[in-house]
Amino acid sequence: KAGVTQTPRYLIKTRGQQVTLSCSPISGHRSVSWYQQTPGQGLQFLFEYFSETQRNKGNFPGRFSGRQFSNSRSEMNVSTLELGDSALYLCASSPGDLAGVGEQYFGPGTRLTVT
Amino acid sequence: DAKTTQPPSMDCAEGRAANLPCNHSTISGNEYVYWYRQIHSQGPQYIIHGLKNNETNEMASLIITEDRKSSTLILPHATLRDTAVYYCIVRVSSNTGKLIFGQGTTLQVKP
């Protein structure tokens, strides 16, 4: 099976711009979660989508949003970028049901730099 | 989800067993212990998880104490490729994918 793929892998944006990141989960996985990783805060949960519905949300401002499509692919959007949004954004997928939900499979991440 | 405590760093000689401890003294009866690792600049990788019994898979073994207040991840024959940050996570296996990562343990495997 192909793993989780994320595009783009690297991105440079300017303050005030918006950005959209994409994640394709492992085939058959219905849950997609997003995480932000920075040197100062470590790995932080952003949100999770399951069957096109947001199932859980972390403590991030409303500038961070996401969605999931019927094929389970997911996108996250960050509007009005700030310097502090520079981070590695990781996507993880899991089957989504009770049996396997803790076993998350992460993609390689998108490295976002805001200048 | 219960809080975990891990040493910030550990060293291990190549070929020897690496034993990574984790304290989770406030764990509840329905909370599982999960281990992930993150090799530099890659996404975290699931290793193993357990509830109360010891678990083993092709990557590692997980030993959970009888009172479930601590656990140890064992890499039986560490290689240089096992150098990574190891995260111990305690969570309820409910229908949510949320994982709360702490600071983890940086394991350095030395030749």
Among A4, A23, A41, A104, pick the best mutation site for testing chain B contact (most B Cβ within 10 A).
A104
Interface residue A7 vs chain B (CB under 8 A):
no
Tokens of A21: 């990141």
Q: Residue A94: which pLDDT band, with cuts at 50, 70 and 90?
A: confident
A103/A89 Cα distance (integer angstroms): 19
Mean pLDDT of A84-90: 97
Chain A contact probe: residue of B95, B103, B105 with most A CBs at under 10 A: B95
Confirm or reject contact between B43 and chain A (CB < 8 A).
Answer: yes
A107 near B CB under 8 A: yes
Confidence of residue A114 (pLDDT cuts 50, 70, 90): very high
Q: Is B80 helix (H, G, I), strand (E, B) or coil?
A: helix
Q: Which two tokens stand for residue A106?
A: 């992460």
Query: Would you call B95 an interface residue with chain A, using a CB distance cutoff of 8 Å?
Result: yes
* Average of per-residue pLDDT across B37-41: 91
- The answer to whether A39 faces chain B, any CB pair under 8 Å, is no
B95 and A107 within 8 Å at the Cβ level: the answer is no
pLDDT at A101: 55
The yes-or-no verdict on residue B38 having pLDDT over 60 is yes
Strand partners, B84: B107
Instruction: Answer yes or no: do B97 and A101 touch at CB < 8 A.
Output: yes
pLDDT for the residue numbered B31: 86
Owner of token pair 């104490």: B65
Give me the residue from A90, A94, A109 closest to B97, CB to CB.
Answer: A94
DSSP3 helix / strand / coil % (chain B, rounded to 5): 5, 50, 50
Question: Which of A7-11, A41-45, B14-18, B91-95 is predicted with the least confidence, judged by mean pLDDT?
Answer: B91-95
Q: How many distinct helices (H) and strands (E) make up chain A?
A: 0, 11
The two three-digit tokens of residue B86, written as one number: 């190891």
SS3 A33: strand
